[in-house]
Structure 1
Amino acid sequence: MSAAARVLDLLARRGETLAVAESLTGGLVAAALTGVPGASRSFRGSVTAYATDLKSGLLGVDPALLAARGAVDAEVAEQMAAGVRRLLGAAWGIATTGVAGPDRQDGHPVGTVYVAVSGPSGAGKSAALRLNGGREEIRRESVLRVIDLLSGELHGNARAQDTEQNGGT
């Protein structure tokens, strides 16, 4: 079973939903998820906000943050994940932003990628990646990494819920 299938299965069993905001991956995360039979039980939809102005206008990323740091930034990724979660009415949101190449962007070298997840509590988490390879390799690896980040958060969230239900600390 693929990582995408595993997270979708877990989301479906929990009765939770997922939305995706993508930049450098240009729809590849959504394609990986919708390629799984039964994805519609949990997958709400996606926004490919390739242009910087869409990140703020559509996903609610702070324009001052974008002006100060550019689109390739951990906090931008976190705000994209939170924004798509709100916009599409999902329990969970994930996001990708970065530089797939062939050229540097906003002073960042090719392979600089940020992935993020935003959960039901509104808390966000991001990961900074330095990926090697060509454009397609960077994009494919970004898809795997954002799904892995979501998987880790889903499993961590489940452990926290179990602890609360069992009266543990």
Structure 2
Amino acid sequence: MALWDRIKDSVQMMQSQLLAKKNDVRSGAFRDAGMAMCALVAAADGAVDPAERQRVAQLITLHEGLQNFPADDLLRRFDAYLDQLVADFDRGKADALQEVAKARKKPAEARAVIQLGIVIGGADGDFDTTEQAVVREACRALDLPPAEFDL
């Protein structure tokens, strides 16, 4: 199986698992960690073009696994994390990873944050190495083994 086929299958599997956990991930910690994760993936290469920002925002509002939360609240949080990353990438990344780490107390939510990052990263058909690297960093912040997610 080609690398891309494995990545595509992994993204689809993460999407299914995230949807299955929809009712288990309702806390504010998950919401905040999830939006920080989305921003980290969107800015993984150190820059965010407006089209990418819009694409991720659209995925956030349409994603069934996030419908426990008001879309405008999710987008406000996503934009705030993304603005921090754009203003000062290193500091914004440290702050976002710190927010991600808060989901570590609930293993189901921690895994859902990682799954969300993988879904967002693979949504454009290219879960590239910089996106994978930032999701691996989030795994470490959550005390989860990256290998559990084929990273």
TM-score using structure 1 length: 0.32
Which of these two proteins has the greater Rg computed from alpha carbons? Answer: 1
The higher-RCO structure (CA 8 Å, 6+ apart) is 2
Bigger proportion of residues as helix: 2
